[in-house]
């Protein structure tokens, strides 16, 4: 059997916010943001929820894969910004879709989340326990941002991406060829957001300001440009192919400078690195599946194309996969 991505879908909030829009509410400019990040706009939630965006992305992926809600055995949602602590996002999506036969759970690996979800689904499917999985990367990051911190809030957007992964007959193609993952918790605080404080009858606490995302941009940059090329090479070698065999490198959309640096380290043309951060910003776990759906629906992916997916971010965590379309 071959384990393949058979359908993709994505959803972006309707409210589009340009750099010029942000310059009207904070001390920033289009030039400042574009020069440092490559970003021109992002989409922010006004009426949507993480669940709603996930369900809409899932429906598109299911339609493309010709899969019904009853066909889905497994739902894995990668997110750090679900609507509720409990129930989980995956269970909320299960309800919305009517996927009554599915087992559902969430994964919290931030910007690497979709890769971790893909790896987990692959393991379940390879074992034969399940046949059809829905994996999601979905975020409402705008609720976690300090909108007075221009160095951080301008980077992030909201949205959701989805993929259907299935066990298929071998004649349907190679599918997923290799997967790698990694974590470095010792350096995790360079990109962090505190959880709810302990408040019980036995702990004295002071009222504290709600926590928002904090980031040491330089440290995150150094981590990414060091770790991503290494992870990509490891995945490519594990698949027993070469970097030149790869048609597209679909990377987490954190910063155009990071993507350009990775291309340079891998000695690959920048044309192999599609981007949508110009329009979407950084959407954490949703970044990779939204970009994958984007190039898929634009017709860039052809049967037999070999691609690399790679995510990296908070934790610190990273993951990469090689697959044939």
What residues are paired with 245 via a beta bridge?
none
Is 193 among the catalytic positions?
Answer: no
Provide the token pair at 118.
């893909």
Catalytic one of 19, 43, 91, 111 = 111
Q: How far is CA 85 from the centre of its chain?
A: 19
Contact by Cβ (8 Å): 42, 290: no
Catalytic one of 153, 252, 255, 280 = 252
Closest CA relative to residue 220, chosen from 251, 180, 192, 178: 192
Question: Is the backbone of residue 33 left (phi > 0), alpha (psi -120 to 50) or beta?
Answer: alpha
Is 91 among the catalytic positions?
Answer: no
DSSP symbols for 129-144: S-SEEEEEEEEEGGGG
Is 252 among the catalytic positions?
Answer: yes
- How far, in Å, CA of 10 to CA of 163, rounded? 9
- How far, in Å, CA of 58 to CA of 60, rounded? 5
What residues are paired with 78 via a beta bridge?
107, 137
Contact by Cβ (8 Å): 137, 113: yes
Active-site residue set: 111, 252, 282
């Amino acid at each position: 059997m071959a384990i393949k991505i058979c359908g993709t879908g994505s959803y972006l909030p309707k409210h589009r916010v340009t750099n010029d829009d942000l310059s009207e509410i904070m001390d920033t400019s289009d030039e400042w943001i574009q020069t440092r990040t490559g970003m021109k706009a992002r989409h922010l939630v006004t009426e949507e929820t993480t669940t709603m965006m996930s369900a809409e992305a899932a429906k598109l992926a299911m339609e493309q894969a010709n899969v019904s809600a009853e066909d889905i055995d497994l739902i894995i949602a990668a997110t750090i910004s679900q609507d509720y602590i409990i129930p989980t996002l995956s269970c909320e999506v299960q309800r919305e879709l009517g996927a009554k036969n599915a087992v559902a759970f969430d994964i919290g690996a931030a910007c690497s989340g979709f890769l971790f979800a893909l790896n987990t689904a692959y393991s379940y499917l390879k074992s034969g326990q399940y046949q059809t999985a829905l994996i999601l990367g979905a975020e409402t990051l705008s609720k976690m941002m300090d909108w007075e911190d221009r160095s951080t809030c301008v980077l992030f957007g909201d949205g959701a991406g989805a993929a259907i992964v299935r066990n298929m007959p071998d004649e349907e193609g190679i599918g997923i060829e290799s997967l790698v993952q990694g974590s470095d918790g010792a350096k995790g605080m360079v990109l962090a957001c505190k959880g709810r404080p302990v408040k019980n009858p036995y702990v004295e606490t002071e009222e504290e300001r709600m926590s928002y995302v904090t980031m040491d941009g330089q440290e995150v940059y150094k981590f990414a440009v060091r770790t991503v090329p290494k992870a990509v090479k490891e995945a490519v070698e594990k698949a027993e192919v070469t970097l030149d065999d790869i048609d597209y490198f679909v990377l987490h959309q954190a910063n155009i400078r990071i993507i350009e640096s990775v291309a340079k380290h891998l000695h690959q043309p920048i044309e192999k690195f599609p981007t949508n951060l110009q329009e979407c910003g950084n959407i954490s776990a949703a970044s990779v599946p939204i970009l994958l759906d984007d190039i898929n629906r634009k017709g860039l992916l052809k049967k037999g194309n070999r691609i690399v997916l790679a995510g990296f971010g908070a934790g610190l965590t990273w993951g990469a996969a090689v697959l044939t379309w």
